[in-house]
Every structure is written in C-alpha cells, then in structure tokens.
Amino acid sequence: MPCAAKALQALERELDLDYDPSRPTSPKVAPGTDGADPLLSVARGTVHFSRGEFVKAQMWYAKALEGERKQQEADVNLGGLNPALGLQEGGSQHLGMGGWRAAGVTPGLAGVGFDADLVIAAANNMAIAALYTCQLNRAVQILEDLIRQDPHRYLCKETAFNLCTLYDLSCEPSVAGRKKRVLQQVALLFYLEDLNAQSFRIPG
C-alpha cells in the first residue's frame, strides 16, 4: 500500500470519521471535547473532501468555523480589565482590543488565541466543497460573508482568487468584472498591498 494511503488510513482512524457532530455524546470522542476542536474538524473535513464526500466535508468545515467564532467571542475584553488592574487608558501598559487586533493578535480565554489562518482555510475549503455539490450561490456567500467579517484579516490572496473565480462561474462577464473591481477597491481601502490584479482575476 502506498505511503500516502497508509497515512490517510491512519488519519481516518485517529479522527474517527464515523463521529457525528449532531450527536456530541459519541463515546469515541475524547471527554470534554464534544468533537468541537476546530483543527480536528478541519482535518475531518479534509479527509472527507479527499474521499469525494463533499456534503460531510462542508459539515466539518462549518463546525470548525463555529468553534473558532466561539473562541473569538470569548476574547478577553482587555479594555474592561485594565481599570481593574490599575492600568491607565493611554498609558504605556494599556493595550485594548483595538491594539491587539492591529498587531494581528486576538487573545482568548485561558491564553488560547484565535486562529485566523484556520478560519480562512475552513471557509475556502467549504466554499469549494459547496461548488462541487453544485451550490454555487452558497459558495459565493460563504466567502463574501467571511470577507465582510474582517477584510483586513480575511481578504487574502486565496480568498480573493477563489471568490473571483466563483464570480466568473456565477455571473455574466460584465457583472463578474464589476464585482471583482469592487473587491479590489476593498483591498485598496484596507491597504492590502500584497494583492494585485492577478489575485482578482482581472486581465492586465
């Protein structure tokens, strides 16, 4: 058996692909996790994707996004904690949520950080899985919703290219071109300098 196939089988056994997230009491899931670990959910989704099980893949990618969003909602409100800790607003020791986010760091409870890269991967993979199940409008919606949440964080090369490809597949050329130019303007507004015309599938 090829090495890659053996690795896939080992991953399948480790992840327990028979686990159903709608039944969190499954005895095969580690106690206290409820199958909700976002990283494991992405891995499960990727294995299902590789097997052509795109509906199950979407389910697990959605589970990963849900887990990461809950983590984001659980962020410590440092602005509220600072007065309790005796730190002054505007002082050198003060760092509110705006400062953390500007630095690309989102603190969470128990020191667990929010993983933006995982969210990007899960959303893009879920959109592609939706495309493979002929849910083109859903695929577009997934990536548009992702970008609306935080363009600075989520409008990266992969998301831009995939969304613009979906525009080409779902719209008349004139409409697709207009949507891609709007997306490009959003990138300029947020100073996303690593994105160029090729990222938006705009002819040079």
157 & 112 share domain = no
pLDDT at 37: 84
Selection from 62-76, 101-115, 121-135 with the highest mean pLDDT: 121-135
pLDDT tens-digit series, residues 152-193: 999 999 999 999 999 999 999 999 999 999 999 999 888 887
Specify whether the CB–CB gap between 187 and 195 falls below 8 A: yes
The model carries a pTM of: 0.69
The domain boundary residue, chosen from 84, 117, 150: 117
Q: Per-residue pLDDT averaged across 190-200, rounded?
A: 84
Question: Quick check: is 204 in a domain?
Answer: yes
CA-CA distance, 28 to 35, in Å (whole number)? 9
Residue 127 inside a domain? The answer is: no
Can you spell out the DSSP letters for 63-119? HHHHHHHHHHHT---HHHHHHHTTPPTTSTT---HHHHHHTT----GGGPPP-HHHH
For the cut 70, the answer to whether the pLDDT of residue 198 exceeds it is yes
Closest residue by Cα to residue 61 from 138, 134, 9: 138
Total structural domains within the chain: 2
Dist. CA 51–CA 122, nearest whole Å: 17
**Interaxial angle between packed helices 54-73 and 38-50, expressed in degrees from 0 to 180 and rounded to the nearest 10:** 170
Residue with tokens 């409409």: 175
What pLDDT, on a 0 to 100 scale, did the predictor assign at position 190?
A: 85
Tell whether 109 and 149 lie within a shared domain. Answer: no
Domain identity same for 42 and 8: yes
Statement to judge: residues 9 and 110 lie in one domain = yes
Residue with the two structure tokens 């602005």: 79
pLDDT at 116: 87
What is the predicted pLDDT for the residue at 180? 94
| 180's tokens | 């891609």
Instruction: Determine contact, residues 133/65, Cβ cutoff 8 Å.
Output: no
In a domain, 98, yes or no: no
Mean pLDDT value across residues 34-45 = 81
* Bigger pLDDT: 59 vs 70: 59
Domain ranges, residue 35? 1-74+105-117
Q: Distance between CA atoms of 153 and 68, rounded to whole angstroms?
A: 14
Judgement on whether residues 68 and 143 belong to the same structural domain of the protein: no
For the stretch 147-160, pLDDT in tens is: 999 999 999 999 99
Residue 86 CB burial class (10 angstroms; 0-12, 13-18, ≥19): exposed
Judge whether 129 lies within some domain. no
Mean pLDDT, range 56-84, rounded to an integer = 73
> Do 70 and 152 share a domain, yes or no?
no
The tokens 């106690």 sit on which residue? 31
Q: Which residue has the higher pLDDT, 66 or 109?
A: 66
How far apart are the C-alpha atoms of 104 and 108, rounded to whole Å? Answer: 13
Residue 79 falls inside a structural domain: no
